[in-house]
């Protein structure tokens, strides 16, 4: 791609560094910005700069936060003894939306994935082990994706903390609410039979 302007070219090249955005999409976005009022592009640029310079991570759960201890961790109404281990802030937002969890979170910042060069030391695992070793946690809920990497990470953490004698659980895997059985994959269906629950507890929710 040859550009008639170096400024345009640089903007397109920087935009196309983002995941899922190629040169053509980047050019379309940048041309859109040129058609909009100047303030809009300046606003975007400033928001990105401010965020990158000033964003903090909660010192306890590693969630993104504007203050040293995030709103969830500093909320006295939440149960500090139950900690839900998640991959990133999107999972925190998803679980918070359900309003069904009143404990705290621990954000790992990713999953162990040797293929992508991510090992246990690239994630916030040590601070979790320290937290557990101090006896502050009674139950750890693993809420990672149900993939090879998620299972590996669960198992690694489980091995590290199994001697501290706390309860560990993992979110239930089964048929999605509203799904028809005939379209469910066999592994999910198999697991949902093995891990069946008392009918009385299923009608409470």
135: helix, strand or coil: coil
Q: Under 8 Å CB-to-CB from 147, ≥6 apart: which residues?
A: 111
Q: How far is the CB of 28 from its own copies (least distance, A)?
A: 7
DSSP string of 39-88, one letter each residue: HHHHHHHHHHHHHHHH-EE-TTT--EESSSS-TTTT-TTSEEEEEEEESS
- φ and ψ of 78, to 5 deg: -95, 150
Kindly state the tokens that stand for 164: 């501290």
Q: Which is nearer to its own copies, 49 or 133 (CB)?
A: 49
The secondary structure element, H or E, covering residue 133 is helix 126-133
Q: Which is nearer to its own copies, 54 or 182 (CB)?
A: 54
Q: How far is the CB of 149 from its own copies (least distance, A)?
A: 16
Q: Which is nearer to its own copies, 27 or 161 (CB)?
A: 27
Q: How far is the CB of 54 from its own copies (least distance, A)?
A: 6
Map the footprint of its own copies across residues 28-67, applying CB under 8 A: 28-35, 38, 40-56, 58, 63-66
Residue 189 in the binding site for its own copies (CB under 8 A): no
Among 19, 76, 114, 117, binds its own copies (CB under 8 A): 19
Size of the site for its own copies (CB under 8 A): 62
Instruction: Give the span between the Cα atoms of 95 and 137, in whole angstroms.
Output: 19
Residue 70 CB neighbours (<10 A)? 24
Q: Which is nearer to its own copies, 35 or 134 (CB)?
A: 35
Kindly state the tokens that stand for 90: 């999107």
Residue 99 in the binding site for its own copies (CB under 8 A): no
Which residues contribute to the site for its own copies (CB under 8 A)? 1-8, 10-11, 13-15, 17-21, 25, 27-35, 38, 40-56, 58, 63-66, 70-72, 88-90, 92-93, 96-97, 109
């Amino acid at each position: 791609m040859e550009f008639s302007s170096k400024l345009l070219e640089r903007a397109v090249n920087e935009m196309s560094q983002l995941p899922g955005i190629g040169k053509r999409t980047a050019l379309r976005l940048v041309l859109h910005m040129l058609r909009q009022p100047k303030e809009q592009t300046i606003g975007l640029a400033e928001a990105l700069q401010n965020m990158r310079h000033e964003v903090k991570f909660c010192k306890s759960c590693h969630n993104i936060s504007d203050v040293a201890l995030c709103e969830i961790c500093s909320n006295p109404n939440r149960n500090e003894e139950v900690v839900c281990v998640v991959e990133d802030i999107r999972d925190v937002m998803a679980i918070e939306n359900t309003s069904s969890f009143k404990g705290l979170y621990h954000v790992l910042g990713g999953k162990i994935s040797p293929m992508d060069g991510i090992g246990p030391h690239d994630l916030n695992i040590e601070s979790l082990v320290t937290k557990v070793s101090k006896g502050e946690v009674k139950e750890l809920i693993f809420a990672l994706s149900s993939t090879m990497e998620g299972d590996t990470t669960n198992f690694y953490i489980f091995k590290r903390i199994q001697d501290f004698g706390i309860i560990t659980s993992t979110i239930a895997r089964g048929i999605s609410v509203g799904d028809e059985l005939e379209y469910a994959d066999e592994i999910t269906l198999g697991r949902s039979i093995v891990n069946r629950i008392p009918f009385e507890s299923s009608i409470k929710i």
